[in-house]
Structure 1
Amino acid sequence: MNTRNIFVGGLVASTFALSASLVDAREMSLATYLPASSSFVTGLVEPWAAWINEHANGEFSVQVFAGGTLGRDPNQQDRIVSSGIADMAVIVPGRNLGAYPHYAIFELPGFARSADEGSYAAWQMHLDGTLETGDDLKVLAVWTTDPYIVHTASPLHDIAGIEGLRLRVLGQTQTESVLALGGVPQAVSITETPEAISRGTLDGSLADWAVFDIFHIGEVATNSYTLPMGVLAMSVAMNSNSYDELSPEGQAVLAEAGEVWQAMVIDFYAGERGRIIAEYTANGQVITEASDEAIETLLEATGELAGAARASVGDAVMDAYIARLNEHRAQQN
């Protein structure tokens, strides 16, 4: 037998097998409505996709479609996944509480006091099955933003000073929270908020540090009071059919990717928070830290809101949230 022919034949077969593997590799889309130039995309989403691609062993790859390329409406991001327009997307579960009924608890004021502890609680509750997802999506990662705090044009030194202030809010929970403190909630578009503050038709806005920076709220609201008025839970969700098409090894890569995301998102928020605070304080931003007593006052004032949430999600979910927050705080001490 001609050994040269055997070698050449084997080489050709291997080449065809490799080519078939490359052709068969599935390209999966990861959508976000956030701009491609945003730090969230460049500093978090794209590096995470690159980690997956590095570890997927050629079975599949993830391509990021930012800026609303596959769907611009923030309220419809889960729909573009369930319909198959995108394989994965960054979604805000609180915008569709019918499918994510338990996620409203994260917006309660006075509970999560940082992205670190909010994200820890949300991820652990997801892993142990506490957080209910009513639609047919595979959740790959869950985290929270930093708390929404109070940014005002005039100095605000304590919780009592919120009374009478016209504050821009997002959603029903923030509306009721501001009302409970004697404030006047205003449902103004975030893009119109800086101008409204500048004109004097708003006294300030609730916003986390990222929103504060992206929409230039600090240019007109030069005082920040760190009263934790709730966090916003976010998730990376995947089409269940796309997930089922993967091999057990591919699914294992995505499971590990969820843990990788948790570490990356904490580092991301810490870096962004530090940068934003440093830049704005250098330009005169005054930051007043809310005392433990102020947070207790906040919890008392919004007790009915928390009670309604407990009645809606059940004792097990609410108690699990509190337990996970306390667990994280104990780990930090």
Structure 2
Amino acid sequence: MRNWIKSFGIMLILITFVAGCSSYSTSQGSGQTNSEGYEEATIRLAYNLPQDHHVAKGVEQFAKDVTEKSGGAINVQVYPAGQLLSDKDMNQSILTGGVEMGVNSSTLWASTVPVMGIFDVPYVFNTYEEAGDALNGEFGDKLKASMEEKGAKVLMFADYGFAQFANNKRPLESPADFEGLKIRSIGDIPSEMIKAYGASPVFMGGGEVYMALQRSTVDGATSGTTAMVQRKYDEVTKYLTINNYAYLEFILAVNKDFWNKLPEKSQLLLSETATEAEAWIRTQAEIEDEKTAKQLEEKGMEVYVVPEEDIPMWKEAAKPAWDAFSNNAGNIGKELLKMVD
């Protein structure tokens, strides 16, 4: 009887051990493929933009298409609007594998990969077409390589659109008109430009800007017109200056180690689908910029569009921002500037 109990106990331990191993194996990926030949994988994708933003819509469609094209084998689980990670925590989580994929601004990536600050350098790109051609060529390849050196693979450059200025004091028709103003900035490089124009840059989160403008904590702010509409700038500012000084980018990046472990067939699907979404987002960026600028004017803002012939004056006055980027991004930063100047 004792021998039987002892044998039963040993058998129970073995069963528990095997079950535990089986559970662990399943959680790491079964390695099984479906009828379309795709290996099963779960990918968590996080972003912080509002779900109705054109970048968010493009990213959501990317996730949906990957899941559908793979016959459900590659399950892209999307966590929108900061549900999983804040924008400040996003990059580190991608680099450490805390999340497989994430979307974040190039401005925030610049603190880890300095050359990503190129998008904040004033007047690097004049048109949407120029930006697209550069990102699809050697310029984009150099940026991708710099990201991979840090441990993140770029799947998509998601065009947010051009950055503008809104303020309460006066029309900003030349750099001299910035003198003495307090302007909410979106990064280190734009801050150098704001200072060069004679104003004082103020850092704060996007969600704080409305109240800061309402209480005159700042006199103005820089952002894309899509964000200005969403955050109701028209209620707390009077003047809008369209000078297209920076072409804002968001990056869909994937943890490099995770990427390298994916089968080639899965990598190809993700890359091709990201390229499709990238093209749609780039087209939408121009449409949304034009639409939201018009909406702000219809809501009562006084809009000044800087004439094309005046842009060289604005660019020359912003030279300290170019110098700051060059000093921070080193030789590769200088190479990138030469490619687009």
Using the size of structure 1 for normalisation, the TM-score is: 0.80
For residue 119 of structure 1, report the CA deviation from its aligned partner: 4.7
Aligned residue in 1 for 2:297: 281
Task: Verify: 1:135 aligned to 2:146, yes or no.
Answer: no
Cα distance in 1 for residues equivalent to 2:205 and 2:219: 15
Aligned residue in 1 for 2:279: 263
Task: Verify: 1:43 aligned to 2:68, yes or no.
Answer: no
Secondary structure in 2 matching 1:231: strand
**Of 105, 111, 130, which aligns to 1:92?**
105
Structure 2: which 5+ runs fail to align? 1-31
**Of 114, 123, 142, which aligns to 1:101?**
114
Secondary structure in 2 matching 1:129: helix
Aligned residue in 2 for 1:306: 322
Aligned residue in 2 for 1:239: 255
For residue 221 of structure 1, report the CA deviation from its aligned partner: 1.4
**Of 227, 235, 240, which aligns to 1:224?**
240
Secondary structure in 2 matching 1:234: strand
CA contact (8 A) 2:94 2:255 kept: yes
CA contact (8 A) 2:192 2:320 kept: no
For residue 164 of structure 1, report the CA deviation from its aligned partner: 1.9
Closer/same/farther in 2, CA of residues 188 and 30 from structure 1, 3 Å limit: closer
Secondary structure in 1 matching 2:150: coil
Deviations 1:163-206 (A, max 9, x none): 22221112222222111111222224432322332333422111
CA contact (8 A) 2:48 2:81 kept: yes
Q: AA paired with 1:55?
A: K
Cα distance in 2 for residues equivalent to 1:94 and 1:170: 8
Aligned residue in 2 for 1:12: none
Closer/same/farther in 2, CA of residues 47 and 144 from structure 1, 3 Å limit: closer
CA contact (8 A) 2:67 2:73 kept: no
Aligned residue in 2 for 1:69: 83
Structure 1: which 5+ runs fail to align? 1-18, 327-333
Using the size of structure 2 for normalisation, the TM-score is: 0.78
Larger radius of gyration: 2
Cα RMSD, aligned residues only? 2.8
Higher strand share: 2
Q: AA paired with 1:111?
A: V
**Percent identical residues:** 20
Cα distance in 2 for residues equivalent to 1:58 and 1:207: 38
CA contact (8 A) 2:192 2:324 kept: no
CA contact (8 A) 2:39 2:266 kept: no
For residue 260 of structure 1, report the CA deviation from its aligned partner: 1.0
Secondary structure in 1 matching 2:183: strand
Cα distance in 2 for residues equivalent to 1:94 and 1:123: 20
CA contact (8 A) 1:106 1:233 kept: yes
Once structures 1 and 2 are overlaid, which stretch shifts more, 215-224 or 119-128? 119-128
Task: Verify: 1:291 aligned to 2:304, yes or no.
Answer: no
Cα distance in 1 for residues equivalent to 2:91 and 2:271: 20
For residue 318 of structure 1, report the CA deviation from its aligned partner: 3.7
Closer/same/farther in 2, CA of residues 77 and 214 from structure 1, 3 Å limit: same
